[in-house]
Amino acid sequence: MGPLEGILRRPGLAAGVVLALAVAALPVVAGLGIDNSVEEWVDRAGPEWATYREFVQRFGSEEFILVVYPLPEAVDHEFLMRLTDLRLTLQEVPGVRTVHDLSGIYARFFPGADPQAFLRDAVATPFYRRFLVSPDGRLGAQWLELDIDRPERRREIVAGVEAAVARHDLGGPVHLAGSPVVNAALDVTSTRAAGRFFPWVFVVSATLLALRYRSVHGVILPFLGAGCALVMTLAVLRLTGGSLDMVTVALPPVLWVLGLATALHLTSDTRRRVAAGEPSREAATAAVRALARPCAASAATTALGFLALATSSMAPVREMGLFAALGVVLCLGANLALFPALGGRWIRRVPAAEATLPTGGSLVRLATLAGRRPGAIVTVAGLAVAVGVVGMSRLEAESDVLTFFPDDHPLVRAYRDVVPQLTGPYSLEILLRPPSGDEPPDAAVLRRVGKVEEGLEAVPGVAKVVSIVDLLALVEQVATGSPPAATRPPESDEAVARAWTTAGDLLPEERSALVRDGEIRLMTLATPMGSRSHRRLVRDLRGVLAERVPDTWRPRLTGIVDLLVSMQTELVRSQIRSFVLAFLVIVPATGLLVGSVRAALLAIPPNLAPILLTLGAMGWLGIPLDPATVMIAALALGIAVDDTIHVLHAWRRHGGHRGDAQGALQAVFARVGRPVATTSMVAAAGFLMLTLAAFRPLVWFGLLTAATLASALAADLLLLPALLVLSGRRSGGDHAVEVASP
């Protein structure tokens, strides 16, 4: 006795087990959080991660937080005291290693000096300018070096810094910047977005189902199956140590839609049987027997499509693929287990009209129209796809994390309007190891590093480079009493050794942060945020290194933001690979599960065309491929193939492959047309609810997926019938093994 027969023999027990598991999973799901930490995205098996970890072990974390504040027109002792109070408060925040700012410099080196004269000197000093003070003297910054010993530490530090800043008044708006700030903002915004849109998905789904069935059971039955599968999937995600992130936050609506689709087919078939006079229990059992195969085929192909995502090198994408595939299987199992007991109990009275197979109706008319004019339908579809393919040639891969947030988000305003006036909001770390490895480096090495620094600062997008050259020049300037504008690095080995010793006495942390174990660090503060501009910046920086640094110095470039941009680029590539793999797997699987090679080939155009149209529209509209939009193709393919399989299964069951094309089309779409249309409409409406989120990756994901599903429905109602009729005319019938009718 197979699993299905076991369920049908003891439906009450099967339904009770599923409901009990779902209830037990609820408290587990309640603890599921959202984590967009860097460690979740990078490929920790690659050489880039190894270089970065080596850098962190030697110099500590290069991640920092900038607290940017306006400087008053006249800086006085009172303002410096307020700045000092904030610096001391920030220094107490767990995870903050050191705070550098103007008040600390003033207290250490210029106590009692005229504050306004001190500010003028700070602006004129190369080491401080575009680091702790803007070139025009209007903005200052507190530079927070961090100790990040675990991923969640970033959010803790940002929360502590925000709380400290809120308790102090610096006379104007204060802005925060730095990769931990971006990380925390992603977590907060994506969490709020998920909490905001999913209730609307729930409400819209309930409304559409109520309008379709005009009964309570028409809403409760699909909701129970989808809800139980979703809760159990998220519980497994939590128990295996996973969490939601920018990618997997789309998992709940995806599984909800898939769970509803299976239940809708079962509900519609049971209602038709009850309306025809069958007892409700027998009708529910018969519906499960009749639809178990196409539902299982749909689930199998969809799961295979999602499993293609598991080939990605990034953990969030792998998790999306694995848990979406698991969720699809659980959706199938939950619906098949719940329906014989609950459907047979609740679906008792159905209007007699649902028992008939009408020859009219808009869906049937569309399908028969396609059957009468198949050549015209295929020609129009071909032209539309051609336009889409041309648009695809205009697609570009681009990811700018700032575009994920609304334009009025504080982070966006800070990064676009405020921080660039001062410095760069992130660092690219360049490491040089002179062959001698001496500490202090000799004057010749210092001059070489200075020339490298000059070349780097000339690259567009570089706001400032901080190196041991700048620090020793500052020490030399203070020691000789020369004016800031005349700051020069020491030029002889003796002067370098003297400045090195003085820096070790006065600025030991700063010195060790720039040279350690014979390796020299050039902290390159950069402004480009988009992946294209960042890649261009990295290319130019590498060009400077190739031109000005001998190979024997082993120049290397690293940094957490560089890793993230590289991973975003790899994400786009891996998602494209995943779609191709999903397509290559789903097509033969469709033929195997439906029972016809020709049917599998006919399923290609109606499932591929909507995706090509969406990608083409993105190209024409200038919507780039990014970590959100690049998922649409693979996910939409996995969802859209569900309806195609139900149509193909019904086509063979009603004899369409034996030559009676028009009669078969009417029977097919009278039987499955409304469930197919309902599932697609509910799915599209559910994804449209993502546009209510303030998190733009979800907005684009929802809008474009809904458009793809709508065009996929049109393809199943028009293009697929046209292809079925044309195929029958050319072949004179498909003699593959027929799927038995129930």
pLDDT at 355: 65
Q: What is the DSSP letter of 623?
A: P
Cα–Cα distance for residue pair 326/328, rounded to 1 Å: 5
Helix (H), strand (E) at residue 578: helix 560-594
Where does a domain end: 167, 194, 212? 167
Q: Name the band, by pLDDT with cuts 50, 70 and 90, for residue 542.
A: very high
pLDDT at 116: 92
Q: What is the DSSP letter of 39?
A: G
Classified as helix, coil or strand, 527 is coil
Q: What is the pLDDT of residues 385-436, one digit of tens each?
A: 999 999 988 887 777 888 888 888 889 999 988 999 999 999 999 999 999 8
Q: What is the pLDDT of residues 119-162, one digit of tens each?
A: 998 998 888 999 999 999 999 999 999 998 887 788 899 999 99
3 lies in some domain: no
Q: What is the CATH number of the domain that holds 658?
A: 1.20.1640.10
User: What are the C-alpha distances in Å from 195 to residues 26, 237, 408, 550, 682?
Assistant: 16, 18, 20, 54, 20
Q: What is the pLDDT of residues 9-43, one digit of tens each?
A: 888 999 999 999 999 999 999 888 887 777 777 77
The answer to whether residues 243 and 268 belong to one domain is yes
SS (H, E, C) 455-471: HHHCCCCEEEEECHHHH
Where does a domain end: 167, 194, 215? 167
Domain count, the chain: 3
Q: Tokens for 279?
A: 């007892």
Share of the chain above pLDDT 70, in %: 93
- pLDDT beyond 70 at 223: yes
User: What are the C-alpha distances in Å from 106 to residues 101, 151, 361, 475?
Assistant: 9, 35, 82, 15
Chain-centre distance for alpha carbon 393:
23
Average pLDDT (208-214) is: 86
The answer to whether residues 108 and 150 belong to one domain is yes
The answer to whether residues 630 and 713 belong to one domain is yes
Q: What is the pLDDT of residues 44-90, one digit of tens each?
A: 777 888 888 899 899 988 899 999 999 998 899 999 999 999 999 99
The answer to whether residues 314 and 382 belong to one domain is yes
Helix (H), strand (E) at residue 733: none
SS (H, E, C) 81-135: HHHHHHHHHHHCCCCEEEEECHHHHHHHHCCCCCHHHHHHHHHHCCCCECCCECC
Cα–Cα distance for residue pair 555/429, rounded to 1 Å: 10
CB 404 within 8 A of CB 190: no
CB 248 within 8 A of CB 326: no
Residue 190 amino acid letter: S
Neighbours of 441 (CB within 10 A): 24
614 lies in some domain: yes
CB 521 within 8 A of CB 452: no
- pLDDT beyond 80 at 593: no
pLDDT at 733: 47
560 lies in some domain: no
CB 404 within 8 A of CB 189: yes
The answer to whether residues 547 and 571 belong to one domain is no
Average pLDDT (193-210) is: 81
Classified as helix, coil or strand, 686 is helix
Model-level pTM? 0.80
427 lies in some domain: no
- pLDDT beyond 90 at 453: yes
Cα–Cα distance for residue pair 93/158, rounded to 1 Å: 9
Neighbours of 446 (CB within 10 A): 24
The answer to whether residues 532 and 673 belong to one domain is no
Q: Name the band, by pLDDT with cuts 50, 70 and 90, for residue 740.
A: very low
The overall average pLDDT reported for the chain is 85
Neighbours of 226 (CB within 10 A): 26
Q: What is the DSSP letter of 64?
A: E
The answer to whether residues 203 and 327 belong to one domain is yes
528 lies in some domain: yes
54 lies in some domain: no
Where does a domain end: 134, 167, 200? 167
608 lies in some domain: yes
The answer to whether residues 534 and 586 belong to one domain is no
The answer to whether residues 280 and 366 belong to one domain is yes
Q: Name the band, by pLDDT with cuts 50, 70 and 90, for residue 730.
A: low
The answer to whether residues 241 and 271 belong to one domain is yes
Cα–Cα distance for residue pair 653/648, rounded to 1 Å: 9
SS (H, E, C) 334-352: HHHHHHHHHHHHHCCCCCH
Q: What is the DSSP letter of 625?
A: B
58 lies in some domain: no
Residue 33 amino acid letter: G
Cα–Cα distance for residue pair 739/742, rounded to 1 Å: 9
CA R_g for the chain: 32
Cα–Cα distance for residue pair 256/249, rounded to 1 Å: 13
pLDDT at 44: 76
Phi, psi (rounded to 5 degrees) for 118: -60, -45
Q: What is the largest CA-CA distance in the chain?
A: 103
Q: Which domain holds residue 332?
A: 10-38+184-402+566-731
Cα–Cα distance for residue pair 597/180, rounded to 1 Å: 53
- pLDDT beyond 90 at 175: yes
Q: Is the dihedral of CA 386, 390, 391, 392 positive or negative?
A: positive
Classified as helix, coil or strand, 518 is coil
The answer to whether residues 512 and 584 belong to one domain is no
Q: What is the pLDDT of residues 474-498, one digit of tens each?
A: 888 887 777 777 778 888 999 999 9
pLDDT at 739: 34
pLDDT at 311: 76
First to last CA, the chain: 18
Q: Tokens for 620?
A: 């024409």
- Laid out side by side, the sheet with 96-100 consists of 96-100, 139-146, 64-70, 175-177
Cα–Cα distance for residue pair 196/668, rounded to 1 Å: 39
The answer to whether residues 258 and 228 belong to one domain is yes
- pLDDT beyond 70 at 615: yes
The torsion region of residue 160 among left (phi > 0), alpha (psi -120 to 50) and beta comes to alpha
